[in-house]
Amino acid sequence: MTPRTDPLTVEVVELIGSVVARYYEEYDEAAGKHGLTGAQARVLGLLSVDPIPMRRLAQKLKCEPSNVTGIVDRLESRGLVERRPDPADRRVKLAAVTEEGGSTAAGLRDSLEFAREPLGELSAEERTVLRDLLKRMLGAG
């Protein structure tokens, strides 16, 4: 496949980069208000959906399992996360949010205006098209 360096592609790539940078900047700021690092907040957000095996959590974050262990250790010491055996395979440890961790994750989500507001200006149809295009770009659609 020939690399595309036309002005439109360059502009789209720059805009995607700007959106991602603003999202992470706001996420880190919101995390700080809760006494968390950006990485801790991202782990909490992922775990607020469902408990996740530690190894899978590392894959989702694209980092080494030892890094995730440290993040989960710190969240666990604050009572936001707990480790529990996986009912399907007791050798596997799941990381899961506690009730307090779920509340903190919800507070983080609610405080993310940039991530929520621009999407709120798009219709459901536009958000669906955007989602499908992003999935296609990632090879998942």
The pLDDT tens digits of the residues spanning 70-114 come to 999 999 999 999 999 999 998 889 999 999 999 999 999 888 877
Q: How many CB atoms lie within 10 A of CB 111?
A: 16
User: What helix, strand, coil percent values describe the chain, rounded to 5?
Assistant: 65, 10, 20
Strands 89-97 and 81-86: antiparallel
Give me 104's structure tokens: 């903190």
CA neighbor of 40 nearest in space, from 7, 14, 69: 69
> What pLDDT score was predicted for residue 97?
97
pLDDT tier at 125 (50, 70, 90 boundaries)? very high
Whether residue 141 has pLDDT greater than 60 = no
Lookup result for tokens 């480790």: 83
> What pLDDT score was predicted for residue 90?
87
> What pLDDT score was predicted for residue 2?
53
14-43: per-residue pLDDT in tens?
988 988 888 888 888 989 999 999 899 999
> What pLDDT score was predicted for residue 48?
93
The pTM score is 0.75
The DSSP code for 3 is P
